[in-house]
Amino acid sequence: MGIIDRIKQKARQNLRKIVLPEGEERRTIQAAAIVQAERLADVILLGDENVIRERAAEYGADLQGIDIINPLTAEKALTYAEQLYELRKNKGITPEKAGQMVRDPMYYGIMMVKQGDADGLVSGAVHSTGDMLRPALQIIKTKPGMKTVSSSFLIESPNRALGEDGLVLFADCAVMPNPTAEELACIAVAAADTARTLCDISEPRVALLSFSTKGSASHELVTKVQQATAIAHEMAPELLLDGELQLDAAVVPEIGQMKAPGSPVAGRANVLVFPDLQAGNIGYKLVQRFGNAMAVAVLQGIAKPCNDLSRGCSVDDIVTTVAITAAQAQ
């Protein structure tokens, strides 16, 4: 069974409440109906109820059992506005501004998660990644013990010799444009945690990638990865983690043995940490488009599960991301 089916199974075992702020959008409405019918989560759609119901009828989507909340008229918006003001007053927002912000479905949804009225949030079919991430980072914040929010992509390759039967995590491919060595170390530790908790990988083996293997090249970019490796070792001494490694040294056993003999990770890594967002984002799209790998993103290091979609997402992508978010919320 593939990773997505395993995650869906997990989601079904203990239904969580997931809010979808882009509730008037076609793919979101269709996905909500599927999620509800397949019992992957309890869904809350945000938006104008008449608009949502009219569109659902037009698309043949059955919304039975789905809650619909309109942030423009919801009574709870007043409470959320007060809470938002308290959370952000030291950042200069006024009570009036907080009142306006919670009428925006994105902020309303984030406040629902913050206050425990929903267990997780999925958005991004309409909003850009930045516009989805900013409210989540400002309000939900990082998990205790984590300094940064980042992402892992679950990559399922048709080449079953890679990672765990073809499953490999790529981090960070969506959030931090240019991480410091310390932030890179946080990404590595968070990705190992995602591998363990979401993907049931009992032994994450983490490679911090570079264009150099064990000092084969010297450059400030390589030094950053070496420093990140050292920091990550301090943060999680029990973790199987190594760097700096080139991609082939990380995943091909013979090359790993030749270029990094004695490494506990080289040649058999199942978590790949990219040095920055340019490399990570291009890297995951390369394996997806050229290598026919399945790729799906999750946010990690965040205090409560919120996940971003690509604006080009399909209905199935939304269903999958809701299931992942529900599984993370357990």
Binding site for ligand ACO (CB under 6 A): 91, 129-130, 133-134, 137-138, 142, 148-149, 174-177, 281, 297, 310
Residue 98 beta carbon to ligand ACO: minimum distance, rounded to whole angstroms: 14
> What residues pair up with 45 in beta bridges, in sequence order?
20, 68
Cα–Cα distance measured from residue 291 to residue 287, given in angstroms and rounded to the nearest whole number: 5
Please name which of 70, 51, 67, 68 lies closest in space to residue 108, comparing C-alpha atoms: 70
* Of residues 33 and 132, the one with the C-beta less far from ligand ACO: 132
Q: Does residue 141 sit in helix, strand or coil?
A: coil
Between 36 and 281, name the residue whose CB sits nearer to ligand ACO.
Answer: 281
- Please tell me the distance from the alpha carbon of residue 296 to that of residue 318, in angstroms, as a whole number: 10
Candidates 52, 120, 34, 36; CA nearest to 304 is: 120
Closest C-alpha among 267, 271, 324, 270 to residue 296: 324
Residue 87 CB, nearest approach to ligand ACO (Å) = 9
The distance of closest approach from Cβ of residue 39 to ligand ACO in the complex, given in angstroms and rounded to an integer, is 28
**What is the spatial distance between Cα 117 and Cα 14, in angstroms, rounded to a whole number?**
16
Q: How far is the CB of 254 from ligand ACO (least distance, A)?
A: 33
Q: Which is nearer to ligand ACO, 61 or 184 (CB)?
A: 184
CB 303 within 8 A of CB 327: no
Closer Cβ to ligand ACO, 11 or 184, answer by number:
184
Angle between helices 3-13 and 315-328 (to 10 degrees): 60
Gap between the Cα atoms of 53 and 24, Å rounded: 9
The distance of closest approach from Cβ of residue 285 to ligand ACO in the complex, given in angstroms and rounded to an integer, is 7
Closest residue to ligand ACO: CB criterion: 137
Q: Compare residues 216 and 314 and give the one whose CB is closer to ligand ACO.
A: 314
Nearer to ligand ACO, 73 or 115 (CB): 115
Q: How far is the CB of 150 from ligand ACO (least distance, A)?
A: 6
* Cis geometry, peptide bond prior to residue 244 (ω within 30 degrees of 0): yes
As measured in angstroms, the least distance from the Cβ of 172 to ligand ACO is 8
Q: At what angle do helices 26-37 and 49-59 cross, to 10 degrees?
A: 80
